[in-house]
Amino acid sequence: MSAKEQTGILLIADSLTICLTWAAYYLFRVRSGWLTLAIEPDFVVPMIAVYLFWVLLFFLVGLYRPWYAKSRLDEITLLFKTTVVGCLFLFFAIFIDDQATATQTNSRLLIVVYWAILFGFVVTGRLVIRSIQRRMLIAGVGVHRTIIVGSEMKSRELYDEIEQYPALGYRVVGFVSIDGQKFEPYKSIPVLDSHRNLNTLLSKNEIQDVLIALDSSDHQHLLEIIVSCNSYNVGLKIIPDLYDIISGQARTNQIYGFPLIEISPQLMTPWEESTKRAMDVAFSAFVLIVGLPVWALVALCIKSESKGPALYKQERVGRDGRLFKIYKFRSMRLDAEAAGPQWANKSDPRVTRVGYWLRKLHLDEIPQLWNILKGDMSVVGPRPERPVFVDQLSKEIPLYPRRLKVRPGLTGWAQVKHKYDESIEDVRKKVQYDLFYIENMSLRMDIKIILSTISHTLLGRGHT
């Protein structure tokens, strides 16, 4: 079952349970005689409004992301928290009105009654759907074509674990050895090839999931496997004792007490990605237009202090390795890179006096809003880097190219969590934060980063 089909089925189930909840609540509130109402409230229009509210909220908190082989308890826990917060908002915003002569005690009871009906109905609907999905997976319907990459002993141990839980939905089609190590087929599952040829194996065998079974000390091979899978839409699952290698970057997947560390192939759902793009365009257009007099004044200040254009453009690497020209207000002398490309540092002597304040207040980045409007960048994402540094860092930090899976950003998680780059270790730390953002991308996280960036700017915490 595809992710779209799964989302569609859940949406239908939630639609039914949310509307049934409203009907049951309406009967209790209006028809039971428990409350005295001056005017009988409408049934249809509020039901539509409440339905749209819940569907939007469920989307925002991630309840329509694929829950393939995930714990039902985790889903119920998220539903519990979401419905509690949502019900409190609804009652304060909508349900308590002047039509009802209910006491404060009755109002609190109404909240509890509506929440209990909603939670019970939605959970029941989803458990039914998940039970049907589980039975289908056990029957072999909708299972994912999977390979296990690793050493012979670890691979066999992992296969034995998976074999005990067919509801995980993994159909192992073969093993992949490390560096061409020879080991025999196991339980009629063949050894396909070496991990050096993983790119060919993934496309040839239409693989959907890659399970990595390595010793915790085998860091280099783990990174090679992740890099090989980076260009393919496959799920990557890693046995937990390797968590220290990618600490903070991945979501934890656990079902039937069987934990795996997951690197998700779908960074954002299509609706979230579309919403993110719409927010990027609206924000960029608003700031550019409203602040136009300020930006003109900034340009005049730059021109009055030093020779050269007010705007500075430079080639950067964007999503999927595409090159584009980034725009900034010039904050350095015109001959700043006469000796060749080099990283800026916190007290860089090439920075002009006007440039110092531009960088201090992050105003030098404003022209990049034009890059955002063009689609080269997003408001939130890993900062774009120059091709020469991307090549250098890709060799020194194997996971670095994964940053290119998303549009680069005006600001990012690394910018609000870490200091200025002054060494390769600073870059490594920022890459870790970037990878954490990529594996946990959401609109909620974008909003959090934007608010943190505004706070940093207002407090003048310096250029990042």
End residue of a domain, out of 71, 106, 138: 138
- The range of the structural domain enclosing residue 25 comes to 3-138
86 and 183 both lie in a single domain: no
124: amino acid identity, one letter: T
- Tell me how many domains the chain contains: 3
pLDDT score recorded for residue 34: 66
Rounded to the nearest integer, the mean pLDDT of the chain is: 81
Model confidence, pTM: 0.57
Cα distance from N-terminal residue to C-terminal residue, the chain: 44
Residue 251 and residue 332 in one domain: no
Q: What is the pLDDT of residues 276-303, one digit of tens each?
A: 999 999 999 999 999 999 999 999 988 8
Task: Kindly state whether residue 85 falls inside one of the protein's structural domains.
Answer: yes
Residue 419 pLDDT = 59
295 and 222 in one domain? Answer: no
Residue 258's pLDDT is 58
pLDDT given for residue 402 in this prediction: 80
Confirm whether 25 is domain-assigned: yes
* 426 to 3, 4, 217, 464: CA distances (angstroms): 38, 40, 24, 12
CA distances from 157 to 151, 164, 228, 262 (A): 10, 11, 24, 19
Q: Where does 27-103 have alpha helices with state H?
A: 44-61, 72-90
- Give the domain-ending residue among 233, 263, 293: 263
Shared domain for 124 and 177, answered yes or no, is no
Looking at 231, 263, 295, the residue that finishes a domain is 263
- In 140-229, where do the E strands start and end? 144-150, 170-177, 191-194, 209-213
**Residues 155 and 97 grouped into a single domain:** no
Over the Cα atoms of the chain, what is R_g?
27
Any domain includes 463: no
Decide the pairing of beta strands 311-317 and 323-329: antiparallel
Which residues of the chain fall short of a pLDDT of 50?
96-105, 242-250, 462-464
195-226 residue pLDDT tens: 888 888 888 888 988 998 887 567 778 778 87
Burial (CB < 10 A; 0-12, 13-18, 19+), residue 253, is: buried
Q: Is residue 114 part of a domain?
A: yes
Question: What letter would DSSP give residue 180?
Answer: T
Query: Which pLDDT value is given to residue 367?
Result: 94
